[in-house]
Amino acid sequence: MEENIKDQHFLPRCYLQGFTDENGKLQTLNLELFAKRGKKPYPREYAPSQICYEEDFYTVGDMTGFNVSDNGDKYVVEKSFHRYENHYQKLIAQIKSGQALAIGDAGFLIQIIFDIKLRNKYFRDKYIAPNQAKVVNEAADELKKQLSEDEEYFKKFQGASLKDMLYLNEKIREMLINDKDFKQKAHLSTMMRKEDGYRIALETIMMKFIHCPWVILESPDNFITSDNPGGSMGENGEIHNFFLQKGFVFVFPLTSSLCLTISDTQGDPYFFKNPAIKVYAKGQAPQDMLDTSNGMLFRHYNKIVFGPNKNILTEYADKLIIKK
C-alpha cells in the first residue's frame, strides 16, 4: 500500500508542543484578520496537529529543470525533518536543567533553527516567489554563457549542437518563468540538493552563533511565538526576519518558558577557553526583553502567533487595535 503523508507541517511538531498548555492545546491569534480586514482577532484553541501545515507542502513532484534526481520517494523532504523530533526535546531538557551543550549539540540546535527559518512557508512566499523571474533569468543567462564560451563544459553534452543546446536553454527558461509551482519546486530543490547557497549560509550562521555569547531567558509560559518564529534586531532597532549583519540581536523562543538570545556585541570568552562545549548564561527575562521577544513576532509572520496563555494573546490583540 502506497504511503500517504498529505498534511505536512512547516513547523515541526516538537517545536509546536513547547507552546501547549497542560491540556496539550495552543491558543492562537489570527493576524490576517487584522492585517487584511482591520478586525480584532480573538484567541482560538487548537491542537498542534491543526496548525502550521499545508497539504503536500514538501511533496516532491516533477522537478524537471531543477537539477534534482528522483530517488523514488516523494516524501523524502518531509521525512528528512523527522530526525529533529527526539533530538530537539533532549536539547530543550538540557537547557532547562542549565547543562552546557556539547559543541555538536549546540551546532545541531543552530541547524534546527536555521532549517525552521529556511523550510518555512514565509521563506517560500516572501523570498522565493517574488524572485522567480530574476532567479530563472540569471540561471539561464549563466548557462548560455557557459555553453557559448566554455568549450570543456560544452563537451559534456556529447552529440548536441550549440544551436540545439541554446534553443533548449531558452525553452527551459520560458517553462520555468511560467511555472505556477516554481516557488515550491525551487524551495524543495534548495532543501534536497543542499546547494544554491544552503551550505554557505548555514556555515556562516553556524560560525556567527557559535562564537557569540548565548543567553537563555526564562519566563514561565509568558513567551509566545509565531508560524515563522524568531527574528533579529539591527543597530537601528529595525526588526528583520533573519538579519545577521554587525550589531544584531537574534531572538528565538524555544518554548513558552525559554527564549534564546544571541548578540554579536562581544565574543564568547568561555568558548575560546573550551571550544568543546557551549556555555550560556541563564536567568529570568526582564519585562523589556519579554516585550521585545513577543513584539518582534508581529513583523514577519505567515498568519498566526500562538502560545499557551490566552490572556497574553488577548492583551496583544487589544494593542493591535489601539495602534491602528
Rounded to whole angstroms, how far apart are CA atoms 232 and 82? 27
The pLDDT, as a whole number, for residue 304 is: 96
The pLDDT, as a whole number, for residue 16 is: 96
- CA of residue 132 relative to chain centroid, distance: 19
- 230 pLDDT more than 80: yes
Q: CB-hemisphere CA count at 13 Å for 285?
A: 24
The pLDDT, as a whole number, for residue 200 is: 85
Nearest-5° Cα angle at 123, 120 to 125: 110
The pLDDT, as a whole number, for residue 15 is: 96
Least confident of 116-125, 171-180, 287-296: 171-180
Domain locations in the chain as residue ranges = 7-84+103-323
Rounded to an integer, the average pLDDT of 189-218 is 86
What type of residue is 39? K
Rounded to an integer, the average pLDDT of 222-241 is 92
Least confident of 31-40, 151-160, 224-233: 151-160
Rounded to whole angstroms, how far apart are CA atoms 53 and 303? 12
- 1 pLDDT more than 60: no
**198 or 122: whose pLDDT is higher?**
122
For the chain, what is the mean pLDDT? 90
List C-alpha distances in Å: 175 to 130, 132, 133, 169, 189: 17, 12, 11, 10, 16
The enclosing H or E element of 46 equals strand 44-46
pLDDT in tens, 43-78: 999 999 999 999 999 999 888 878 777 777 899 889
The pLDDT, as a whole number, for residue 195 is: 59
8 A C-beta contact, residue 255 and residue 91: no
**β-bridge mates for residue 252, sequence order:** 260
The pLDDT, as a whole number, for residue 94 is: 95
The pLDDT, as a whole number, for residue 113 is: 95
The pLDDT, as a whole number, for residue 321 is: 66
- 13 pLDDT more than 80: yes
Find the farthest-apart pair of alpha carbons in the chain and give their distance in angstroms, rounded.
69
Radius of gyration of the chain (CA): 22
